[in-house]
Structure 1
Amino acid sequence: MAYFSIQNSRLARPQTQTVMRVMCGIAVFIFTISMTAAQSPFEERHAGNNHHERKTASQRVNVVQNLLGIKIEGNVSIPRSTIMPYIKSHPQRPANPAQVKKDISALYGTGWFSSVRSTYRMKEKGPLLVFQVVESPIVKKVEYRGNKKIKDKHLAANTGLKRGSAFNIHSNKDAVSRLEKFYHEKGFFFAKVKLIKGDRNDDREVIFRINEGPKVRVTKIKFTGNKFFRDSVLKLKMKTKTAILWKFSGLYNPETIPEDIVALKEYYHSLGFFDVRIKQKVSFTKGKGYVTIEYKIKEGIRYKLRKVEYIGNNIFSSKQLSEESKLRAGDYFDTRKMTKDVAAIKDRYGKLGRLFATVQATPRFLETPGQADLELRINEDKVYIIRKIDVNIRGDQTHTKRSVALNAGTISPGDLADPKEIMRSKARIEGLQIFERGGEKGVQIHINRVEKSAQKKPVFRGQNKSFPRSYPRRKTAPPVRRKLRKVSPRYRTQRTTRRRSVFRGQSEELANPFEKKQNSYRAPANPFRENNSFRENNRVSTRTAPSIQRRLRTSSRTTPRSSSQTIPYHSAVGSEAVPQPYQTIQQQSHTDDLGLSHPVNPLFETSPQGDLYGDTVRQEYPNLVDIIVEPTEARTGRLMFGVGVNSDAGVVGSIVLDERNFDLFRPPRTIGDLLDGNAWRGAGQRFRIEAVPGSQLSRYMVNWSDPYVFDTNYSLGLSGFFFSRFYDDWTEQRLGGRISIGRQFTPFFSLNASLRLEQVEVSNPRVPTPPELAASVGEAFLSTIKLNATYDQRDSSFLPSEGYILRAGYEQAFGDFSYPRFNAKANTYWTVRSRHDGAGKHIVSLGGEIAWTGDDTPIFENYFAGGFSTFRGFDFRGIGPDTGGVKTGGKFMALGSVEYRFPLMANEMFHGVVFSDFGTVENDVALDNFRVTVGAGVRIMVPAMGPVPLAFDFAVPLTSLSSDERRLFSFYMGFTK
């Protein structure tokens, strides 16, 4: 109405206008008075109540008044001195409502009070702040009765009850169940706990009565009805373990039995026993201290495949896909083989750049018992090309260069996006031992699909901006794949703590090959697991995309979300790409993001009707992805102490200082660099200082190496050493250094060239001294140049089971001695037998070595054989040319060995070996004095002592010479911490 009256004031009469002005003035005066009254002083307030009582003027406190004091009311058993430290409001300071609220929260947090309220009382000298509290019951005593095997302090830590804590009946009753669970976890399955005091409101003491009972251990696990698998194999799949000597380990936990049954069923399902049924029976001894668990198994029929069907494959025919198939029609169903087949199919498509191709394997059960069809449904997807690769090292204060991770990868911008190569790059980055491995902190790979709108359009000088994103190509052009220049995958970058740089090959104007080199790496097999209702679900789903990242992760970056789309890649979501500066395309060039040059019509835009300069068709823009690598820095420095003993070198100790992320060119600039650990670190180089003192052998060495020197594929190594060895016939000392340069040409083939400079001293020769030894007594300078080639196709560097390795080298000495030297060595491995699940491998290995050196070779460079590492059955350096009882070594050596290795236990901790070593060492190229030994031994795997097993071998010679020194037993033991 007021608004209407004002707008229409021109129509009113003068008297009416005067009345309205008076009324408006009165209204403004009343409003001012009411607002003044609303601004009341600090009123008395009660925390915890929803209503506010009306206060009188005498009760109001001005916020600027200082508090007269603080008073506690309602406390009976808790003294004021105990309460006051939790109150931060102070007398003689102005009242602060926010601080009073914090004080109330602090008092509630003690657990001593069930109610806390605050109020102000006006006194003559000022306001008094009063906290009115209602005490909660307090525990005066906590007692555990009957516990003999577990101490009170462990029980108290489990219940959380202690003298002076708040008394709560529900907490006391809950403590009973917690104590029983705690006892059960410790193996006291029959333990019972009763609350005899503390369950009433007037109680102030909490007392538990405990009947511990015996500690129950599993002494035996039996299986009945299992015909296909041995008991020892089935036990490997279970969490429940038997006790050792009835006193150690093997605690009984009934909660693990259902989990064991599920694991056993999954194991049977993986090999085609889809109808398996398993029940358990638990039997206790009379004293209930020991238990026997029996699993009754009905294996049922093992299913065979009637046919294997491929669906959705257009690029490859079903015949092509089945050529290397491990699982064929008529075979028994085997998850391990099926997984390998799925991985092989995925690899085929991956090599074509079909990054997101999927293969889903589904067994279809038939009405005929024991028969099923295997359906492999393929989604071929599209071809993707890597646009750029970025590295973001996670951490607050990182010091590692981004080029360290980039150099280790096998992929480059412009390559086809092969998931196998992406996974291999991830494994190589983890293999640097610079970044964390596995888990959330492990190396994460994010793959971002670049949207069409984010792909930069070509820019032409003087051309219309609306030029269509299409690339003309003549219909008559031959279907020849373009060969373009290769962008090197090595990058020179700055540290992550500095300004981010633009790397070579990382901008959006990429010039990279359309072709991808073919590699034959074995894809990791994905485990096949299914629930108990496998047959009923009637479906097996296998995801074959590499497990690059298991957690969904996001990353805040500067690139707008509209520019790139994050693609889930086997439960992975990649972060968005970091934008790179655009480059200006000069003159009339027409190139796309991959540097592909196409003919351009400078006058007319392309159209479906063609143009004046040629008959063209549209070419689809390539599908691009960005790859973001996110590693987390790990601890790279180690100080290790070790001890070892073997039959060749006696007892040796080991002290090693090792840094795997060294930077030779980053000395400390400030004290902070040393304290923060930034000095001498960050370039991925390796620095190692090693001291190995021993009873017969001592070695001291300093070594520096860079696997990607100057961000190239070349490696560089520098080392200096001192070596001392007490041989039976003389004492030898070497002081020198070595420079080596290497190159990894392929994942399997590498070359290495080295220069060796040594000062050698031979002393304490045996008397009488043969001429060969006398000629070398004293000091000599040895210098050689050596070239080594290695081709390694083994599946593992430790304990390989498949593949082979070939090594050959040529060395030329100059200086005090001048002679050529040649050696070649080969080892191959076969798995001749294994369990149905692929474990328990029986491995046959065959190895041979041949070496020759020139006539001017000094005695300390001759070839010797014998001992654990070269020729078992003989003593260290126990065979070869002999002059007057002194082993002088030979100019020619030919050695060989064949070994059969097999597991002695289902868990493969113990292996047995049967072997034969053969060969000879001669002064000339000949096999006149050929020796042969046969023997057997044991290998013991101890994870805490490193990847190399303990070895104990017995060997006897079948053919030998009278001058040979025999040894029946040889061994190796080592430990590093």
Structure 2
Amino acid sequence: MPAVFCLLLTAYFLLYSVRAEAVDLARPIVHISIKGNERVHESTIRYYISLKEGDLYSPSKVRNDIKRIYDLGYFDDIKVDLEEEASGLTVTYLIKEKPFIKDVKIKGNKEIENFEIKKKLSLKKGIHFKSHFVQKDIDSIKKLYQEKGFYFASVDVSTKNVENNQVDIEFKINEGKKVYVTDIAFVGNKYFDERAIKKQVDTQEKGAFSWFTSSGTYKKEILKTDILKLESMYHDNGFIKVKVEDPRVEIDKELRRIYITIFLNEGDQYRVGSVHIEGDEVYSEKELMGVFNLKEDDIFNRSQLSRDIFTITDMYSQKGYAFADVIPNIKTDEDLKKVDIDIKIDKGRKVYIGKINIFGNEKTRDNVIRREFRLQEGSLFDSSKVRRSRERINNLGFFDEVNFEQKSRREEDMIDLDVKVTERSTGSLSAGAGYSSVENAILFAQISQSNLFGKGYKLAFNTQLSSIRKDYEIDFTEPRLFDRELLAGLSLFNTERNYFSYLSKNNGGSVRLGKSLGEYTWGNISYRYELVNINIRNRDVASSFLLSQEGDRTTSSIAPSVTRDTRDDYFNPQKGSRQYLNGEYAGGPLGGVINYYKLVGEDSWYYPLWWNLVFMVHGKIGYADGHGGKDLPLFERFFLGGPESLRGFNFNDVGPRDAAGQSIGGRSLLLLNTEFLYPFTRYVRGVVFYDRGNVYGKEGDISKTTSNDFDIGNMRHAWGFGVRFFSPIGPISFAWGFKLDQQKGESPSEFHFTIGRAF
């Protein structure tokens, strides 16, 4: 098209020069007009015209103007008319626009929806028709069908001129039959059998569930990637000279089958020979060899070598040598089939943090982000502190994305950090409903703001209502008092809980202070004052212990705690751990009429597995008792059962009970939770769990427990599955738990719904 246009343009100027001889080109241009444009605005065209009123006429300028306007792609033809008037010359640009696309129709498609096809098209409704896009769109549609397994799909295109210089376009598709990969053969493999190799590649043969898994679909790009994966697999098993040839792909149109053959030449297997790493004043040879996992006589593994090099590079970057170069020198001994590794390190010069720039925080104040940094402007570069800074900013919960970009100023021995955040909504007004087999219908509402005024303040009002509880709470937290690593908070609450054998009403408040004790550790101390009312529901069958708990009491308690949290993401952890130790002391010099103490310890660990699976194990142990001659009150005892502890059970199934079969809690507890978590999306995770635990005590009916304080041999257990959503109001969980030791009078399972934290 450009070549044709140039020929036409040359011919036009040859013809035009004859006419221009009759025009006095020495006279100035007094007027420039544009005619023929319908949809392209005149100002757009004038922008590309270099000829101006008052100028002398220039054929070269006109020629360039025509080319520039034509290159916009909106026009089929452009001519220039020159007329001489009394006052000077008039130049008119005569424009013929390409037709406008009125409609795009897709016909003949059954397997792929219209919207999916139209997303691939360059020719769209409401733009100018460009003929060179036709073949491009045909190819795009064919490629889309090939990705779905329809390798013989054909596409015809027709256009129809309609009124007002418009055109309708119709793509007529003949899909043909779907073709599947039915056989993948490997030739030349000896060390790995065919089954092991097939597990490494993404291209799979057609199976019984191909309709669901899309196995059997042939994609050229994926097959190319599979070749690289095979090479990598062999390289990681000592076959450093393996050759994987381009696959042979045969398509049987009649049988609708694809046969793929991959030829390999494995070569010999090599092992690690000598390993030498040159130490320096930063790290000794012994220290470097200690982190190098490839050892003499191991099967050579190229990926492990890359990981070891990265580990050493990162070690130097933690000491400020951000541009350290770790250079492996590999020599092969063909007789012994060994690979000698000699690593030299050019650490370069120390690098310092230059500017820290923050972008995207329209609401959140800069200092709220900057106070989470583990390094400051001017400090020595440390890659581990950069990673930790990103984790801390992400764990604020204010951002959907947190990205760090390092910009080198090598000549100044500086690295600037550009922090780009995408803010999420931190305020919410929400309400909803759920269901539990114990609580029946559950209603909840929340008004919260976790980044109040952009300063990181947290303010929330929560309420949850069901057949057995009424909870109201207002909470305020300042996570960084005076912009230091100090925490302050205040809570007010009013709760009512039906434990079937008794009704508990609690009103009160608490204040808390906290301080950072280290990079991952916080210490807190809180004071709580509470008025508790216990009302026995069925006095006729209530035990003397239950009757002794009835009435009003005040609790005045102090609770120190320590939390260590190394999870990589508080909201969706993949690795790390969380430990929590809490002690509580009530009464005595603190006042109130309740005297007790309580100790609770928790430990959670997260381990990343294959296929994005995460394994979580959580344990909890607790012990409580009265002091000063007073018993542990009923409402401060331990209870288990429900969505946040022992799933598959309600609290009446676990621990000591009264004569009516209702739980009265215990003095001690043991709990073990294990989970396999799979992220379907960033905000939705599936869960399979196994829970085990019990509550122990001496009062009441202990047929479902024991009077021992802790008895690992006497624990209830259940398994189940669920779904966890991460919403603006916190985690929302649905879980179904099934008892593995169902006893007489118990339901076989429990359905749980909850809003709040996970383990």
Bucket of the pairwise TM-score, normalised by the shorter protein: 0.7 to 0.9
CA 1:921 to 1:247, structure 2 compared with 1: closer, same or farther past 3 Å? same
- For the residue of structure 2 that corresponds to 1:702, the secondary structure is strand
Gaps of 5+ in 2: 1-12, 161-166, 701-705
Question: Which one of the candidate residues 145, 154, 160 is aligned to 1:183?
Answer: 145
Spell out, residue by residue over 1:186-221, the C-alpha distance to the aligned partner (whole angstroms, 9 max, x if none): 5432112356889xxxxx997766432124466888
Who is 1:783 aligned against?
556
- Are 1:420 and 2:420 matched, yes or no? no
Within-5 A mapping of 1:886-897 = 887=662, 889-890=664-665, 892-897=667-672
Q: 2: distance between equivalents of 1:954 and 1:217?
A: 42
Who is 2:603 aligned against?
827
Within-5 A mapping of 1:592-741 = 628=417, 630-639=419-428, 652=442, 655-662=445-452, 680=453, 682-741=454-513
CA contact (8 A) 1:222 1:231 kept: no
Q: 1: distance between equivalents of 2:183 and 2:720?
A: 27
Within-5 A mapping of 1:566-965 = 567=414, 574-575=415-416, 628=417, 630-639=419-428, 652=442, 655-662=445-452, 680=453, 682-763=454-535, 765-768=537-540, 769-777=542-550, 780-792=553-565, 805-813=579-587, 814-827=590-603, 845=617, 847-854=619-626, 855-867=630-642, 869-871=644-646, 875-885=650-660, 887=662, 889-890=664-665, 892-897=667-672, 917=693, 920-922=696-698, 927=708, 930=711, 932-933=714-715, 937=719, 953-957=737-741
Within-5 A mapping of 1:349-368 = 349=316, 352-361=319-328, 363-368=330-335
Who is 1:329 aligned against?
296
CA 1:127 to 1:860, structure 2 compared with 1: closer, same or farther past 3 Å? same
Q: 1: distance between equivalents of 2:354 and 2:254?
A: 66
CA contact (8 A) 1:787 1:810 kept: yes
Percent identity, aligned pairs only, is 22
Question: Which one of the candidate residues 353, 358, 383 is aligned to 1:393?
Answer: 358
- For the residue of structure 1 that corresponds to 2:714, the secondary structure is strand
Q: 2: distance between equivalents of 1:950 and 1:941?
A: 5
Task: Tell me which amino acid in the other structure corresponds to 1:927.
Answer: N
CA contact (8 A) 1:901 1:914 kept: no
Who is 2:177 aligned against?
214
Who is 1:111 aligned against?
74
What TM-score, normalized by structure 2, do the two folds share?
A: 0.73
Task: Tell me which amino acid in the other structure corresponds to 1:565.
Answer: E
Cα drift, residue 114 of structure 1: 0.8
Comparing 371-380 and 243-252, the one that deviates more: 243-252
Q: 2: distance between equivalents of 1:143 and 1:265?
A: 45
Q: 1: distance between equivalents of 2:616 and 2:121?
A: 58
CA contact (8 A) 1:389 1:413 kept: yes
- For the residue of structure 2 that corresponds to 1:392, the secondary structure is strand
CA contact (8 A) 2:647 2:718 kept: no
CA contact (8 A) 1:214 1:288 kept: no
Q: 2: distance between equivalents of 1:646 and 1:239?
A: 44
Q: 2: distance between equivalents of 1:241 and 1:693?
A: 53
Spell out, residue by residue over 1:152-200, the C-alpha distance to the aligned partner (whole angstroms, 9 max, x if none): 78767755558998776645444443443343345432112356889xx
Cα drift, residue 785 of structure 1: 1.9
Q: 2: distance between equivalents of 1:712 and 1:205?
A: 67
CA contact (8 A) 1:173 1:195 kept: no
CA 1:322 to 1:883, structure 2 compared with 1: closer, same or farther past 3 Å? same
Cα drift, residue 918 of structure 1: 5.6
Cα drift, residue 407 of structure 1: 1.4
Cα drift, residue 714 of structure 1: 0.8
Q: 2: distance between equivalents of 1:887 and 1:140?
A: 73
Who is 1:260 aligned against?
226
Task: Tell me which amino acid in the other structure corresponds to 1:809.
Answer: G
CA contact (8 A) 1:765 1:777 kept: no
Task: Tell me which amino acid in the other structure corresponds to 1:742.
Answer: G
Cα drift, residue 291 of structure 1: 5.8
Q: 2: distance between equivalents of 1:413 and 1:140?
A: 57
CA 1:803 to 1:708, structure 2 compared with 1: closer, same or farther past 3 Å? closer
Q: 2: distance between equivalents of 1:866 and 1:167?
A: 67
Cα drift, residue 939 of structure 1: 5.1
Q: 2: distance between equivalents of 1:382 and 1:218?
A: 55
Q: 2: distance between equivalents of 1:428 and 1:57?
A: 76
Greater Rg by CA: 1
- Are 1:410 and 2:374 matched, yes or no? yes
Task: Tell me which amino acid in the other structure corresponds to 1:392.
Answer: N
Gaps of 5+ in 1: 1-45, 73-79, 199-203, 450-563, 568-573, 576-627, 663-679
CA 1:317 to 1:649, structure 2 compared with 1: closer, same or farther past 3 Å? farther
- Are 1:565 and 2:526 matched, yes or no? no
- For the residue of structure 2 that corresponds to 1:421, the secondary structure is helix
Q: 2: distance between equivalents of 1:432 and 1:153?
A: 39
Task: Tell me which amino acid in the other structure corresponds to 2:326.
Answer: V
Task: Tell me which amino acid in the other structure corresponds to 1:254.
Answer: K
- For the residue of structure 1 that corresponds to 2:597, the secondary structure is strand
Task: Tell me which amino acid in the other structure corresponds to 2:519.
Answer: P
Higher strand share: 2
Cα drift, residue 328 of structure 1: 2.4
Q: 2: distance between equivalents of 1:944 and 1:634?
A: 16
Cα drift, residue 752 of structure 1: 0.6
Q: 2: distance between equivalents of 1:428 and 1:143?
A: 51
Q: 1: distance between equivalents of 2:339 and 2:221?
A: 35
Q: 2: distance between equivalents of 1:300 and 1:953?
A: 54
CA 1:85 to 1:757, structure 2 compared with 1: closer, same or farther past 3 Å? same
Cα drift, residue 927 of structure 1: 1.1
What TM-score, normalized by structure 1, do the two folds share?
A: 0.58
CA 1:205 to 1:828, structure 2 compared with 1: closer, same or farther past 3 Å? closer
Cα drift, residue 824 of structure 1: 3.2
CA 1:407 to 1:336, structure 2 compared with 1: closer, same or farther past 3 Å? farther
- Are 1:317 and 2:284 matched, yes or no? yes
Spell out, residue by residue over 1:637-657, the C-alpha distance to the aligned partner (whole angstroms, 9 max, x if none): 254677666666556455555
Q: Superposition RMSD on alpha carbons, in Å?
A: 5.5
- For the residue of structure 2 that corresponds to 1:743, the secondary structure is strand
Cα drift, residue 683 of structure 1: 1.5
Q: 1: distance between equivalents of 2:127 and 2:677?
A: 61
CA 1:874 to 1:383, structure 2 compared with 1: closer, same or farther past 3 Å? same
CA contact (8 A) 2:624 2:637 kept: no
Cα drift, residue 379 of structure 1: 2.6
Q: 2: distance between equivalents of 1:975 and 1:249?
A: 33
CA 1:900 to 1:328, structure 2 compared with 1: closer, same or farther past 3 Å? farther
Q: 2: distance between equivalents of 1:84 and 1:841?
A: 55
